[in-house]
Structures are given as C-alpha cells and as structure tokens.
Structure 1
Amino acid sequence: MPTLIALSGSLRKASYNTALLRHAEGLAPAGWTVQTHTLHGIPLYDGDLEAQGMPESVQQLQDLILAADGLLISTPEYNNSIPGVLKNGLDWLSRPASGGRKTFAGKHVAVIGATPGGFGTIQAQDAMLSVLRQQGAQAWFGGRLLVSKAHTLLDADGRFSDAGLEQQLRDFLAGFCAHIAAAPAR
C-alpha cells in the first residue's frame, strides 16, 4: 500500500500542524496510508554527536522516509520562516547518505501549514523550497494549503470545525497522491 510520511514541524502538544496531519490520516485517498510523525527525540545537530553514530531517533525517521512513497511536511511559521526545530530535524535527516541514498533525493515532497496568524504559512512554505531544492527533493507544486486563523478552524481536541478546510485537505492529498502515482519509478 502506498504510504505518505507526514512530518510535523512543531513540538507543541496542541500543535495545529500535528492536528492537521493527524486529520490527513483519515482523508487519504483509497489505497493510501498517511503516518504522522513528529521531531520529538531528535537532538540538536552536533557534528561531534554525529561522529559517534547516527542517533537512533534520527535513523528510525530516516528509514521511514526512505521507505515511503512521499513526504508531507506541515510547518508552522515563526518569524516569517520555518521553525528551528524543523530545520534542525531536516538537517539531521539529510546527514550522511543512508545506505548510499540521500534521504530526500528524488523524494516527492509537499508542504502545508497552519498558523493562528492571518497570512497562513506562506513565507515558511517558501523558505522550505530552498532546503528541499538543496536536498534534491521533488517538491510538488500542484496545490497549496495555507491554513490561517487555525485556532478558529480546529477545536480544542484538534478536530476540524470547518468543513471547507476538510475538503481542501482532502483535495490536496488527492492531488499529491495522484502526482506520486503518475510519476516514473525512481
């Protein structure tokens, strides 16, 4: 069964981005699986630590991403860019080529995001592009999902209180999965 790894760029327990991804698990197109993961347990990048061996938390997430058909990243926007925790996680995940393969090289990646602010996560999503480009990822540009005022669209338990947002997420996932399915095998 084709799989998307959904990676939240937020560590907050009540994260809008993690809630968005958890909701995506139930909206995946027929035959697809979405598995949500966070960056909990990923240490701050340190070359000395890397020299001692890849941390187990990084290796496990790296293996999941390598095995997946695509990667869906949901990012908050901090100071008009991606949060440090997400950049740190991506830096670790890009470290040395696992089994001769770079984690993101040729990987189909889509970016979404949610914020309580009024402009969605447009600048964070744009900032992600240079990171993804550097890593050789195949960024999907067939859709954009920018969730503004997330606190008014998700309830206290992270469930959607807005049917329009649910449909937008369903359509986004359908488009991304169709793109992956139509792409030549890597």
Structure 2
Amino acid sequence: MSSLRLLGICGSLRAASWNRKLMLEAARLFDPAEFVEGNLRLPLYDGDLEAQGIPAEVQLLADQIKAADAVVIAGPEYNKAMSGVLKNALDWVSRVPGGVWRDKPVAILSAAAGRAGGERTQMTLRHAMMAFRPRILQGPEVFIAAPDREFDEQGRLVNEMPVKLLTELMAELRKSAV
C-alpha cells in the first residue's frame, strides 16, 4: 500500500508551541505517512490584495490541502476562540477556487493552558469550517489542558489518557483517508 499524505496545520506560529508538539505527536501516531506542515505565515486577508491575485503562499497552502489524504489541525485558544492566524488562513483558502476542503478528512486537536484545553477553539473551528464541507471527525475529542505537564523534553505526550485518545483519533483519521 502506498503511503498516505498527511497535512498538519498548527494555529500557533511559535516554533515550540504546545499545539505544534501536539500536531507532531498526531503525525507520529498517524504514521506511516508523508507528513507536510502547512505555513500559516500569510498576509492578512485583504480584498484589495486578493484583487491582485491569490498570494503564492496562500495558493501553496490550498494546493497542500487539496493534495493531502487527510488533515490534522492543532490550535490554541486565544480569547475564547481559534487563533487569528488560523482564522486568517481559513479566510484566504476560502477565496481560492476549487473547494479544496470538500470531503477532506480532518481531525481537530487543541492544547491550551485553560482547564478546558482549547474546547472553544475546536467549537469555533468546527463552526467556521462547516461551509467548506470537509469530513471533520467527531471524536474522540482531544483537548490538552495544562500542556506544560503533558509533554516530555522530546515533545511526546506522557500521560496515558491523551495518548490513548490521540491514537484512536489518528486511527479514525487514517480509516477516513483511504
């Protein structure tokens, strides 16, 4: 069987973010797959800029989504919602012709310092993506609260329950991708 292509999207730009670690853990558990991380360092959405043509970095992200067999999105919770960079990426990609999200299997994860572990991020992200009609997995839900206690120095999850849930979610994503 040929390897699947998994696209990872992290809603935090910080290189050492908990969500990047969570996304990479998900990719490790999804393996074997070709893993590609999408770049969300995009210009702010601007209709005037769009009128000049879709920026190359936006087109690349849309092409990566389209080429992926599955997508995993990990995002922090900022002010009770998904991060601005994640919302900006969704806004930009929605302007690219072709409906790249349509029927794409998507798993959503979150890590946040609050006690809910990013639950509002997942809720707002699911709501924002409904119009794109992806196949967002409904569970198991993976919320990592107090992430500073959940990862070791290598970025691996250390507690049994999050590992179990993430393993199950990645198995479901793999089944949806084939």
Q: What is the TM-score when the length of structure 2 is the normalising length?
A: 0.90
Match for residue 131 of structure 2? 134
Quick check: 2:74–2:110 contact (8 Å CA) kept in 1?
yes
**Runs ≥4 residues deviating over 4 A:** none
- 1:3 aligned to which of 5, 10, 17: 5
Q: How far 1:156 moved relative to its partner?
A: 5.1
Matches within 5 A, 1:13-52: 13-29=15-31, 31-40=32-41, 42-52=42-52
Higher strand share goes to which structure? Answer: 2
Provide the secondary structure at the position in 2 that maps to 1:143.
Answer: coil
Match for residue 74 of structure 1? 74
Quick check: 2:110–2:122 contact (8 Å CA) kept in 1?
yes
Q: What 5-or-longer segments of structure 1 have no aligned partner?
A: 182-186
Matches within 5 A, 1:72-151: 72-97=72-97, 101-151=98-148
Match for residue 172 of structure 1? 169
Q: What is the TM-score when the length of structure 1 is the normalising length?
A: 0.86
Q: Which amino acid aligns with 1:75?
A: G
**CA distance, structure 2, for counterparts of residue 149 and residue 174 of structure 1:** 25
Quick check: 2:38–2:64 contact (8 Å CA) kept in 1?
no
Q: How far 1:155 moved relative to its partner?
A: 3.6
Match for residue 184 of structure 1? none
Aligned length: 176
Quick check: 2:59–2:96 contact (8 Å CA) kept in 1?
no
Q: What 5-or-longer segments of structure 2 have no aligned partner?
A: none
Q: How far 1:157 moved relative to its partner?
A: 5.1
Q: How far 1:150 moved relative to its partner?
A: 0.6
Q: Which amino acid aligns with 1:110?
A: A
